[in-house]
Amino acid sequence: MKKIAALLLILVMGLSLVACGGPDKQPAIDAFNQASTAFDEVANIINANPDGYAQEVFDTMNEMADVLLQHKEVLEGDAEITEEKLNEMIAWYGDVLDWVDSIKADLEIE
């Protein structure tokens, strides 16, 4: 639980820093911001009542939080990223949003 909370805080604090990327990264940065914000919202809800969720949900949350953190570092960095990698990242953010929508539907949250 502490790991999830710490990763969430890192993601939230990093949102403003991610916006400093170059123009080639901007679509990925925008998708990252949208996915990480939605992820944080659901993770906070789940963390507020951890007994109500299966271990699989926490495992998925931890995996997603780890990947989001890795992507944040890549998007903030100065290293050049291929268009293919950026597109893969954007597609994965869509998967995150789909997972968030699924959890919200399970929780009956709009």
Task: Tell me if 21 sits within 8 A of 76, measured CB to CB.
Answer: yes
Could you give the 3-state DSSP secondary structure of residue 43?
helix
Neighbours of 92 (CB within 10 A): 18
Q: How many domains does the chain have?
A: 1
| Burial of residue 78, with CB atoms counted within 10 A of its CB: 0-12 exposed, 13-18 middle, 19 or more buried | exposed
Tokens of residue 12, six digits: 């939230």
Look up the pTM and report it: 0.76
Q: What is the pLDDT of residue 67?
A: 97
Instruction: Tell me how far CA of residue 53 lies from CA of 10, 28, 56, 60, in angstroms.
Output: 23, 31, 8, 12
pLDDT by residue (tens digit) across 8-51? 556 655 555 454 444 479 999 999 999 999 999 999 998 998 88
The domain in which residue 57 lies consists of 2-107
